[in-house]
Structure 1
Amino acid sequence: MSQSKITPKSYKVLAVDDNEDITELLEYTLSKEGYQVKTTWDGSTAIQLAQSFLPDLILLDISMPIMDGIEAGRLLRQIPALDYTFLIYLTARVEEYAEVAAFDIGADDYLIKPIKPRALVSRLKALLRDKNELAYSSTEFRIGDLKIDSLSYTINYQNKVLQLPKKEFELLYFLVQHQDTVYTREQLLSHVWGAGMHITPRTIDVHIRKIRERTGFDYIKTVKGIGYKFTTEPENT
């Protein structure tokens, strides 16, 4: 029996920002597109609400009272029920260290204010479409003692089951699909995050480092002055 694709009406979004005008704009814009939307104004409340609402996407500001967005994001990423929830920062913070900190705790995207409603809706649809298409592809890659399953977002390495945050998984999955091909940081950003995203190439370095730390394998090779590639021959980088 064929499975039907998920529609926007099936998705839930939690928007977290201490600016009421922004949460009202997000609720209006996304509700009009068919999403179920809940809003709150601080990171601490967001953690409590996320555990009961179980959103598919969380839009999170950084500069908030009581608990900032980076700390809230770190705690949200520790909740097993939210393993497959997209964590997207929507912030006015343009400093590179803020962006790196966001991706370091497992963010899937980093968008700069001011909000452009149509662009935001388009970006969210792209993220959910990629997730939906990946989930229904059931493609599995086996390379030596490494198996990557795109249906469950899991990695089996040396008989150990590993799980990565979604963007780290998708980056690794892309490199494995194109093993022995060298990609620049800009090319990886375009393929994994999508063209037109204003994310620094440093993001790729952070994600590669995290993949190496979490998996323990050294199949991703740094090609100095160019970028990265996945190779079946383990090498020190």
Structure 2
Amino acid sequence: MNEKKVLIIDDDPHIREILEDYLKFEGFSVYAAEDTAKGYQLLNADDFDVLILDIMLPDEDGWEFCQRIRPEFELPIIFLSAKDESTDKITGLELGADDYITKPFSPREVVARIKAVLRRYQTDSEAANSMSFGELIINKEEHFIKYKDETIELTPKEFSLLWHLAKNPKKVFRRENLLKAVWGYDYFGDVRTVDTHIKSLRQKLGEAAEAIETVWGVGYKFEAKKLEV
């Protein structure tokens, strides 16, 4: 079993150190950053399984950072905060966090919460291997597309592009974000690569292509309502 990678973004060195010690003892691979700038660099450089994010940070607060990275990175986010108000917890969860832990905390509790969130993600991931929108079926596990009972052959990149759009219906993606998500951070191609693949994807999808909408001056989105019967 591969080690799960945890990224901690917290400006308190004592908190980083104690969490690092506990998590490493539990078999996690741990990386740490004191601010969101370094944290963002680390997120782009590696694939993490969970992010532990402080709210009060020197360069950007955790709320803003969470909101900014959610469209780009698919991983559980657990907030750490000295704020114990229920409204703060609700705000964190509404912004896309998966859990909220108040300071002071027990390191063992943080480890237990991380394990619980990872179990939920594993279950959700297994359940989300197939999506259907009207007569369009996208099956990730078996890597096939069907529309009106006809199988549509897609290249691996076309499939990944469609999957990424469809699993986030209504969300508008910039070409740069799609390039990073589908081709990877180290891909140095032109953003027009995305346009070329979208064009090919639309041609292959036929009538179902109307679900892929162009948002002029921004990028693309998947509009599931277009496929409702």
TM-score interval for Structure 1 and Structure 2 normalised by the shorter chain: 0.5 to 0.7
Structure 1 stretches lacking a partner, 5+ long: 1-6, 153-158, 166-213, 218-237
Cα distance change, pair 116–145 in 1 and its aligned pair in 2 (3 A): farther
C-alpha contact (below 8 Å) 1:137/1:150 kept by paired residues: no
| Deviations 1:18-40 (CA, angstroms, capped at 9, x unpaired) | 11110001110101111110011
CA contact (8 A) 2:76 2:121 kept: no
- Rg comparison, structure with higher value: 2
What is the distance in 1 between the residues matched to 2:69 and 2:16? 19
- Inter-partner Cα distance in structure 1 for 2:133 and 2:27: 41
1:44, 1:72 within 8 Å by CA — same for their partners in 2? no
The answer to whether 1:128 aligns with 2:118 is yes
Identity %: 31
RMSD: 3.4
Aligned to 1:69: 62
Contact 1:16 1:43 in 2 (8 A): yes
Matches within 5 A, 1:162-173: 162-164=166-168
Do 1:138 and 1:151's aligned partners in 2 also have CA atoms closer than 8 Å?
no
In structure 2, C-alpha distance between the alignment counterparts of 1:146 and 1:139, rounded to whole Å? 14
Aligned residues: 156
In structure 2, the residue matched to 1:196 is: none
Q: How does 1:68-147 map to 2 (within 5 A)?
A: 68-79=61-72, 82=73, 84-136=74-126
Q: TM-score, normalised by structure 2?
A: 0.56
Q: Secondary structure at the match of 2:166?
A: strand
- TM, length-normalised to structure 1: 0.54
Point out where structure 2 has 5 or more consecutive residues left out of the alignment: 143-161, 170-221
Letter in 2 for 1:66: D
CA deviation after TM superposition for structure 1 residue 115, in Å: 2.1
